[in-house]
Structure 1
Amino acid sequence: MVSQKIKNIYLLGCKELWSLWRDPVMLILIVYTFTVAVYTAATAMPDSLNMAPIAIVDEDHSTLSERISSAFYPPYFLPQTTELNHMDAGMDAGEFTFALNIPVNFQEDILAGREATIQVNVDATRMTQAMVGAGYIQQIILSEVNEYVLRHREISTLPVELEMRARFNPVLDQKWFGSVMQIINNVAMLSIILTGAALIREREHGTIEHLMVMPVTVFEIMMSKVWSMSLVVLLAAFLGLKLVVQIILKVPIEGNLWLFFFGALLTLFATTSMGIYLATMSKSMPQFGLLMMLTLIPMQMLSGGMTPRESMPEVLQNVMLIAPTTHFVELAQAILYRNAGLSVVWPAFLWLIGIGTVFFYVAWKRFKDTIHTMA
């Protein structure tokens, strides 16, 4: 009896794989999700500045002001000398992200020990460049002023020196973070899409009625979709991680990939169940797409992949504990970034087992009621 159930699950899963193979749109989506999408996410939105336009108004025309003006150069900044009356107009027109105004007698005030100010205008609508660039500009100006002043008078060195060491991403490269996080997010997204689309495809083609008259149970139908779609996502994630992340982007992966994919398998058990549940709630593929957007976007935004969970309100942190992506992001970052072992990530594994079991039961109950209604 048990062997027959396993055989039914295996054969139904092979049917799902064959149906997927004959769906070119889904195949293109799978390839795109773990190749082009991963590469784009890693390279298209860098955290560092790149050719940020900055307008420089030098009213002092001194040696120090020229040193400061010449310190802004590509590839971080794209400097342009302008006049004071054009500075505000250029900012309003979006020509400059930053505008630097060095006032008259700036060098004289600095050497005399008087208070001196430099005006820096920032276009805050360009969020990424504005936040990073403001810090860069401050460091550059202070560095040039300190170096210039040291030539004219002695400044005592502070007895404390701050030495920063970046762990797990020593070069502070956005690609190391963006590429891996895109793989993590795509695992959850693609598993929901594939399982939901498989069930809706059967309903639209009328094959679900054929399954109802066969000697198979709802559990067997669900498990066949779970294992087949999970296999596809795991293979695609493995190829994306090896080909795009490690070979093309040259991102080092220090963690145990077997442990990571075991966590991904537990996550897929929950997310594929979610896909089946959403498919039973939908009457067509457009409805399924809308429900998936309402479910997937909050999961990805609040699971800790985009911003740390510690920065979120405590209520959201507690609510998101029921989302499988929260624990998948936690264990994936620990394994792939910090080379954590099972002794560190086992609580996330237990959470995923519990969440997956609950989600599978709810989806099974809903699917069973839906089939009985159709009958």
Structure 2
Amino acid sequence: MLHSLKNIWRLGVKELWSLWRDPVMLVLIVYTFTASVYTSASAMPETLHHAPIAIVDQDQSPLSARISSAFYPPQFMPPQMLEWQQVDPGMDAGRFTFALTIPPGFQRDVLAGKKAELQLNVDATRMSQAFSGSGYIQQIVTAEITEFTQRHRSASALPVDLELRARFNPSLNKVWFGGLMQIINNVTMLSIILTGAALIREREHGTIEHLLVMPVTPTEIMLAKVWSMGAVVLVAAGVSLNLVVRGFLQVPIEGSIPLFMAGAALCLFATTAMGIFMATVARSMPQFGLLMVLTLLPLQLLSGGMTPRESMPQLVQDIMLLAPTTHFVELGQAILYRGAGLDVVWKPFAALAVIGAALFALSLARFRKTISQMA
């Protein structure tokens, strides 16, 4: 047993030295857990933010001025006041997403109770802004017209008072969610890439034949790759969680980071074994990359990290229970967002242990078969 542990340790150190001499992989690791996490959390807001809008005010009335002044940051950029001939060229050039036209006599028709119309042109190629921004503009215009016709700002008292309390993210800040979920996704992606690339690199460089003549077993070779590559990803995830998420993004962490790292280690045990299995199936790095695309997209999109699992078809929910990322996302959200302890997340931990053991056994059988064919 002691001799086997020494072999696993020395082979793992060899993997770390091989990774250290691969600058492309090092750059990928650094980028994935720094710039990728930061931009994913802060550079892609899902809510309306600084949407460019233009207004054609042909009425030049107090009501039209009131409507024009109702659009301001952070939802909208300060409106550009245009002539109607400038709308189409501006939309074609992509200078603004919305163009609101207020026709002549608009205020007169509103006060007279006549039918009044406004025209809103929307650049629908900017899909996220177009979808949410149209609703924002309709609400703003309706509210301003209602207050103008009532001659004062008032709020009608409703018989029911709805008290909204947002737990775990009181300000509904997308950054809090995006940064943590990107780390969870990157743990899965990099663990598969590093272990798979390590095995394929040995096959391409011919060093796998050297291992075949050494007094080591396939189990020792696999365990060495699992612990070495898993340790790299685990350390990178811990640094990113503290430096990028808690430091730069100022995201509060409610739960125990050591407990989350323990769950990440279990997930890494499963995903690194998955990476070795895919590397035994693929014959080259391009084939491995294609398998990565087919594997990572379902793991990330259907694990519950982007959309709630309850919104998915029941068949998809049942199938994804076999994926390690489903349980990793569940325990990660529970620990980091809601401060859950082991008494709450023991089921995902147990599921990850079972899935990891099954994937390791499957990958080991495939790895042994591959080695025997090479011998």
Hey, what does 1:249 align to over in structure 2?
Answer: 249
Hey, what does 1:283 align to over in structure 2?
Answer: 283
Hey, what does 1:33 align to over in structure 2?
Answer: 32
Q: Secondary structure at the match of 1:41?
A: helix
Change (3 A) 1:329 1:115: farther
Higher mean displacement: 209-218 or 139-148:
139-148
Supply the AA of the counterpart residue of 1:244: V
After superposition, the C-alpha distances for 1:270-318 in whole angstroms (9 at most, x for unaligned) are 1000110111112222221121122112211221222222222222222
Higher mean displacement: 169-178 or 92-101:
92-101
Q: In the aligned structure 1, how far is the partner of 2:235 from the partner of 2:24?
A: 18
Change (3 A) 1:281 1:152: closer
Higher mean displacement: 149-158 or 29-38:
149-158
Q: After TM superposition, give the deviation of residue 338 of structure 1 in Å.
A: 1.4
Hey, what does 2:325 align to over in structure 1?
Answer: 325
* Aligned 8 A contact 2:55 2:101 in 1: yes
Hey, what does 2:12 align to over in structure 1?
Answer: 13
Q: Secondary structure at the match of 1:100?
A: strand
Query: What TM-score do the two structures reach when normalised by structure 2?
Result: 0.92
Hey, what does 2:313 align to over in structure 1?
Answer: 313
Q: Secondary structure at the match of 1:338?
A: coil
Q: Secondary structure at the match of 2:162?
A: coil
Hey, what does 2:295 align to over in structure 1?
Answer: 295
Q: 2:137 matched to 1:137?
A: yes
Matches within 5 A, 1:64-79: 64-78=63-77, 79=79
Q: In the aligned structure 2, how far is the partner of 1:16 from the partner of 1:199?
A: 10
Supply the AA of the counterpart residue of 1:24: P
* Aligned 8 A contact 1:47 1:132 in 2: no
Hey, what does 1:124 align to over in structure 2?
Answer: 124
How many equivalent residue pairs?
374
Q: In the aligned structure 2, how far is the partner of 1:17 from the partner of 1:155?
A: 65
Hey, what does 2:62 align to over in structure 1?
Answer: 63
Supply the AA of the counterpart residue of 2:319: V
Q: After TM superposition, give the deviation of residue 30 of structure 1 in Å.
A: 1.1
After superposition, the C-alpha distances for 1:70-104 in whole angstroms (9 at most, x for unaligned) are 11124432312223454345434433311223344
Higher mean displacement: 296-305 or 223-232:
296-305
Supply the AA of the counterpart residue of 1:60: D
Identity score, percent: 67
* Aligned 8 A contact 1:62 1:107 in 2: yes
Q: Secondary structure at the match of 1:121?
A: strand
Q: Secondary structure at the match of 2:101?
A: strand
Q: After TM superposition, give the deviation of residue 68 of structure 1 in Å.
A: 0.8
Q: In the aligned structure 1, how far is the partner of 2:135 from the partner of 2:205?
A: 58
Matches within 5 A, 1:235-246: 235-246=235-246
* Aligned 8 A contact 2:147 2:154 in 1: no
Q: In the aligned structure 2, how far is the partner of 1:85 from the partner of 1:313?
A: 49
* Aligned 8 A contact 1:41 1:178 in 2: yes
Change (3 A) 1:317 1:124: farther
Matches within 5 A, 1:40-189: 40-78=39-77, 79-111=79-111, 116-151=116-151, 156-189=156-189
Return 5+ residue gaps in structure 2 as ranges. Answer: none
Hey, what does 2:259 align to over in structure 1?
Answer: 259
Change (3 A) 1:220 1:41: same
Q: In the aligned structure 2, how far is the partner of 1:13 from the partner of 1:356?
A: 19
Supply the AA of the counterpart residue of 1:327: H
Q: In the aligned structure 2, how far is the partner of 1:5 from the partner of 1:372?
A: 20
Supply the AA of the counterpart residue of 1:241: L
Supply the AA of the counterpart residue of 1:232: V
Q: Which runs of 4+ in 1 moved over 6 A?
A: none
Q: Secondary structure at the match of 1:265?
A: helix
Change (3 A) 1:176 1:212: same
* Aligned 8 A contact 1:254 1:336 in 2: yes
Q: In the aligned structure 1, how far is the partner of 2:300 from the partner of 2:153?
A: 55
Query: What TM-score do the two structures reach when normalised by structure 1?
Result: 0.92
Q: In the aligned structure 2, how far is the partner of 1:153 from the partner of 1:333?
A: 42
Higher mean displacement: 235-244 or 97-106:
97-106
Change (3 A) 1:364 1:104: same
* Aligned 8 A contact 2:58 2:104 in 1: yes
Q: In the aligned structure 1, how far is the partner of 2:320 from the partner of 2:120?
A: 40
Higher mean displacement: 194-203 or 117-126:
117-126
Hey, what does 1:205 align to over in structure 2?
Answer: 205
Supply the AA of the counterpart residue of 1:209: E
Q: 2:304 matched to 1:304?
A: yes
Higher mean displacement: 213-222 or 139-148:
139-148
